[in-house]
Amino acid sequence: MNEYFKSLNKYVISEEMNLLEQYAKINGIPIINKESLSFLLLLIETNNITKILEIGTAIGYSAINMALLNPNIYIDTIEKKEEMCNLAYKNICLFELNERINLICDDALNLDINVLKEEYDLIFIDAAKAQNINFFNKYEMKLSKKGIIVTDNLFFHGILFKKDLSKNLRGLSKKIKLYNEFLSNNNNFKTYFIPVGDGMSVSIRRYND
Ligand code: SAH
Ligand code: MG
């Protein structure tokens, strides 16, 4: 984020949070960037969101920031890597949020959805980018009537616009594009594509009446 705005945006500034950001940077963990975080927190506040499902916890940075917004927020967050789960658990405890952030250490594609809540006001998709369509299709039934699905990294860390990619990255890029088109052409959801941060989408249900 622009340094000037960064200094003006005063939500959550603490030594612990700075340490999480530094840890992510040093270890190449792709936590949400500040621009996208501002946008996400704004969506949560303006929509009075209290029940959140996050797919992709990493070290818990986005979940912790969302939970700190207000004491009514409850988050179920899914992470498949054991190492990340351990770090996230430690961080969630550090912020004393274990009562409101429920960490589920499992592959979101295998998880039995019956262990989850009946419905969520926000589903935040931020895990393996090539699986976005599968995450969306599996979890959209858990979205409340007026709920929103937010997906991060639709520019795939900017790689989507690069030329001369390796075969591997080309394949991944193609999958991200397919997801973006899947959202754009979806008859059941209307999606806003917001060029904030690394590209985010906000999908809401379409109603005919
Ligand atoms: N939301 C975090 C960043 C998540 S990074 C933040 O902004 O702070 C993406 C994470 O998704 C990685 O830790 C990766 O291990 C996890 N992941 C990838 N595929 C997954 C899957 N199928 N189920 C659960 N987690 C997954
Ligand atoms: Mg992300």
Residue 110 pLDDT exceeds 90: yes
State how beta strands 200-205 and 189-194 pair: antiparallel
User: What confidence tens digit (pLDDT) does each residue in 120-169 have?
Assistant: 999 999 999 999 999 999 999 999 999 999 999 999 988 888 889 999 99
State residue 115 phi and psi, 5-degree precision: -80, -10
Q: What is the pLDDT of residue 177?
A: 94
3-state secondary structure of 89: helix
Report yes or no: 125 and 135 within 8 Å, Cβ to Cβ.
Answer: yes
Is the beta carbon of 200 within 6 A of some atom in ligand 1? no
Helix (H) or strand (E) holding 13: none
Compute the distance between CA of residue 142 and CA of residue 116 in angstroms, rounded to an integer.
Answer: 9
pLDDT of residue 175: 94
Domain membership of residue 156 as a residue range? 2-205
Nearest ligand to the CA atom of 157: 2
3-state helix, strand, coil in the chain (%, to 5): 45, 20, 35
Mean pLDDT (the chain) is: 95
Question: How many other β-carbons are positioned within 10 Å of the β-carbon of residue 126?
Answer: 25
Distance 97 CA to ligand 2 centre (A): 21
| CATH number of domain containing 61 | 3.40.50.150
CA of 48 to the centre of ligand 2 (A): 22
79, 91, 137, 139, best to mutate for ligand 1 pocket (most atoms within 8 Å of CB): 79
Work out the angle at residue 104's Cα, subtended by the Cα atoms of residues 37 and 35, and round it to the nearest 5 degrees: 5
- Residue-wise pLDDT tens digits, 30-54: 999 999 999 999 999 999 999 999 9
Number of domain units in the chain: 1
Is residue 138 within 6 Å of ligand 1 at its C-beta? no
pLDDT tens track for 87-105? 999 999 999 999 999 999 9
